[in-house]
Amino acid sequence: MEKRNKILVVVVLIMVSISTFIRWYFFELDHRTNLILACISTVVITSSILFFRRLYAHFDKTMPYDSGIVRRLILQIVIMFIFVSIISQGILYATTHFFKIAKVNYLVKYEFTQLAKIAGYMTQALFVILLNVAHFTYYSLQKWRESALRASNLEKEKSQVQFDNLKNQLNPHFLFNSLTSLDSLIQENPPLARDFLQQLSKVFRYVLKNKEKGLVSLETELTFIKHYVSLLKTRFGESLQVAYVIADDTLDLQITPVTLQILIENAIKHNIINENNPLTIHIKSEGNTLIIENNIQRKKQVETSNGQGLINLRTLYNFLSNRGIVINTDEDVFSVKIPLI
């Protein structure tokens, strides 16, 4: 509202300044007369604009543009033109009959020809039309912004739903593999089975706790991923190596929950892992960016992969940050750069 009032003041000052200059340059009015007329012009223009604003507000409720643009514009222009003509004539009459300004009386009686009066009406009509065009343009721009924002929010919600579904996939697939490993450990190594179960509970506690959160600290995500990796190492042993190089000043920066889990799972899904071909994953920070990279040793066949994980992750980070995810692939290394928020 304050911004609109500032715009109103600027518009009034510009119009009054132009009309004052015209009276001084073309009609050679003295400064006193011109100042009085400038004050009158200010009252006329301000009153007209305030009336227009009330009229717009009334029509926005009773006759919105969506119900008929042409009909509303014509009605607005007619009402406004009548209002401007009446208030202009009223002010001019008061000036000539009550204020008794000689120069103005002379202009009205002797120098306001029929052509000059027509020009005055045309100026009023132009003022009204321009005001309506400006209002309709502003209205259209606001509607476009609202539509764009609504579309953006819908896209973000869609992306969030897809990402939530992706997070939920951790439950069945990972749980099945973990329970299978736990079953064998219970018989072979009960103490290790106990540690494994504790790590497993921490992993699922993290997922359940942060499922609805948009962001968590990097430190929190790293704590979770270390539990997750320890479970994976029960299955893959030394064939899976994960190294961390994280600067202390980045630990308070934020990241979307289970981002690292998705990227590690993606690396395991697409690459061969055995004693002869160990998979090495590096997680390191560079400034306000987190880099996750792994050596490439592609599987010939990848089970149930549609590439949707990285797509959803990329889409989500595009909404969360003005720096998107950067994915690089060369002959030996696959890397993903995640913006820390």
Three-class SS of the chain: CHHHHHHHHHHHHHHHHHHHHHHHHHCCCCHHHHHHHHHHHHHHHHHHHHHHHHHHHHHHHHCCHHHCHHHHHHHHHHHHHHHHHHHHHHHHHHHHHCCCCHHHHHHHHHHCCHHHHHHHHHHHHHHHHHHHHHHHHHHHHHHHHHHHHHHHHHHHHHHHHHHHHHHHCHHHHHHHHHHHHHHHHHHHCHHHHHHHHHHHHHHHHHHHHHCCCCCEEHHHHHHHHHHHHHHHHHHHHHHEEEEEECCHHHCCCEECCCHHHHHHHHHHHHECCCCCCCEEEEEEEECCEEEEEEECCECCCCCCCCCHHHHHHHHHHHHHCCCCCEEEECCCEEEEEEECC
146: left (phi over 0), alpha (psi -120 to 50) or beta: alpha
Beta bridge mates, 298: 271
CA distance 332 to 240: 17
pTM confidence score = 0.54
d(CA 13, CA 158): 48
pLDDT attached to residue 142: 81
The pLDDT assigned to 156 comes to: 65
Domains along the chain with CATH numbers: 2-155 (no CATH), 169-339 (3.30.565)
Residues 284 and 246: beta-carbon distance below 8 Å? yes
pLDDT of residue 116: 46
Per residue of the chain (341 residues), what is the pLDDT tens digit?
Answer: 555 566 656 666 776 677 677 666 665 666 666 666 677 677 777 777 788 888 888 888 888 877 788 888 888 888 888 887 787 777 666 666 665 555 555 554 444 445 445 555 676 777 778 777 877 887 888 888 887 777 676 666 666 555 555 555 554 656 666 777 777 778 777 887 788 888 888 887 887 777 667 788 999 999 989 988 888 888 788 999 999 999 999 999 999 888 898 898 889 888 999 989 999 999 999 999 999 999 999 887 766 555 666 777 787 787 777 888 899 998 899 999 999 98
Question: Residue length, the chain?
Answer: 341
Reference 214, options 148, 131, 156; nearest CA is 156
Contacts of 124 (CB under 8 A, 6+ apart): 81, 84, 85, 88
Question: What is the pLDDT, as a whole number, of residue 192?
Answer: 77
